[in-house]
Structure 1
Amino acid sequence: MRFVLASQSPARLGVLRAAGIEPSVVVSGVDEDAVAATLTDPTPGELVTALAAAKAEAVLATVAGTHADAVIVGCDSMLSIDGEMLGKPGTPEVARKRWLQQAGRTGDLLTGHAVLRLENGEPTRRATGSHTTHVRFAGMSPDEIEAYIATGEPLNVAGAFTLDGFGGWFVEGIDGDPSSVIGISLPLTRRLLAEVGVSVIDLWAA
């Protein structure tokens, strides 16, 4: 059985490899804004879960053509602060605005996961869920904010921060699952795999 990660995130890949899984990576290319636009007043958890499911479904045909027996895992993460769901900032200007808003405060990092089981090349079972972790951000000086933005790291990650990179210097603490903040929740993924009839220990690399 192949474990397929429907994400190009190096952080998610690193978490899985460190936890004993060597996944195949198939990037979904999903237009997240387009998917979100189809939802009617979703809760934060419903939003990230719908995006994760869209990513898993988007690679289904590709995976089915190469792996008859597989699990596909889609993921999405966003930071909720002041009632606003924040994804990847994309530009230094947006990243700067985000950090001016969140420095010295607490936000909720939501991660949605979707697991799709393939048997004999056909989808047979699906499971979805989300996890919320509270993140306590450090107060930052203007020079620290500018230096962090200059690394380029916050531009392409949810909430404009990482826990396992430069951003770790500016996270005072978390209440929840650390792997979820990095990008893929190992406890949630294990539970969803069990829902589709797969034990995580059977996926560990020899």
Structure 2
Amino acid sequence: MPTFVLASASPARLKTLRSAGLNPVVIVSGVDESQADGLPPFEMALQLAELKCAAVAERDDVPTDALVLGCDSVLELDGEALGKPADAADAIRRWQSMRGRSGVLYTGHCLRDTATGQVAAATASTTVHFADVTDAEIEAYVATSEPLHVAGAFTVDSLGGAFVTGLDGDYHNVVGVSLPLLRDLVIELGHEWTELWSLDR
């Protein structure tokens, strides 16, 4: 069974993968995300995922039989790419713009097999419908600091869940990693999804 490596500091991604039966080793990439500034949201998510995957896969401390996953999520609203907000004021402005509307959450996925050097990459997209929240709700939410640490300034699996009225697409993609897409990438690299399960963890 190959060692599964998650090139991300996201606790939500780690929790999702563990719930799906995987037991990833976490190695944070340290990639400067500003490298992708100016790209369309779809391309930005994929390029950052590829950069994060490559940065970790090339490290000396990564096993030679590893599958390394890099991911990055970006929310598109009015054609603009929205990653993590710069500060609380930015998060408030975003929510005032998003409320009562819909955006598309893109998550780029890049998987490398360090044994063969093969890479498989793709982007998943999910449409997110936001509730028409009040200014008081926005201020209270931002005061928790949760939206400051996530792409698009919202979550669906924590405090922000009550402010999302619906999704068109994969729920897990919005959390940070699309399990069906990841399974496809694992198969593309010649592995079986079920061989990655670590059910005695």
State the TM-score, normalized to the length of structure 1: 0.93
Distance in 2, Cα, partners of 1:137 & 1:182: 15
1:127 to 95, 99, 120: 120
Distance in 2, Cα, partners of 1:74 & 1:56: 4
Per-residue deviation, residues 146-166 of structure 1 (Å, max 9, x unmatched): 000011100010000000000
CA contact (8 A) 2:29 2:56 kept: yes
1:84 partnered with 2:77: no
CA contact (8 A) 2:41 2:75 kept: no
Distance in 1, Cα, partners of 2:181 & 2:62: 26
Counterpart for residue 53 of structure 2? 56
Counterpart for residue 6 of structure 1? 7
Distance in 1, Cα, partners of 2:102 & 2:62: 43
Per-residue deviation, residues 134-181 of structure 1 (Å, max 9, x unmatched): 000000111100000011100010000000000001000000000000
Q: What secondary structure does 1:127 align onto?
A: strand
Q: What secondary structure does 1:95 align onto?
A: helix
1:44 partnered with 2:41: yes
The two structures, once aligned, show a CA RMSD in angstroms of 1.2
Distance in 1, Cα, partners of 2:97 & 2:73: 18
1:113 partnered with 2:113: no
Per-residue deviation, residues 23-75 of structure 1 (Å, max 9, x unmatched): 000000100112x14xxx7443222111000000011232x534120100000
State the TM-score, normalized to the length of structure 2: 0.95
Counterpart for residue 190 of structure 2? 197
Distance in 2, Cα, partners of 1:160 & 1:47: 17
CA contact (8 A) 2:105 2:126 kept: yes
Q: What letter is aligned with 1:15?
A: T
Q: What secondary structure does 2:166 align onto?
A: strand
Query: Percent same amino acid at aligned positions?
Result: 48
Unpaired segments of 5 or more residues in structure 2? Answer: none
Over 4 Å off, 4+ runs: none
Unpaired segments of 5 or more residues in structure 1? Answer: none
Deviating more after overlay: 65-74 vs 50-59: 65-74
1:33 partnered with 2:34: yes
CA contact (8 A) 1:90 1:156 kept: no
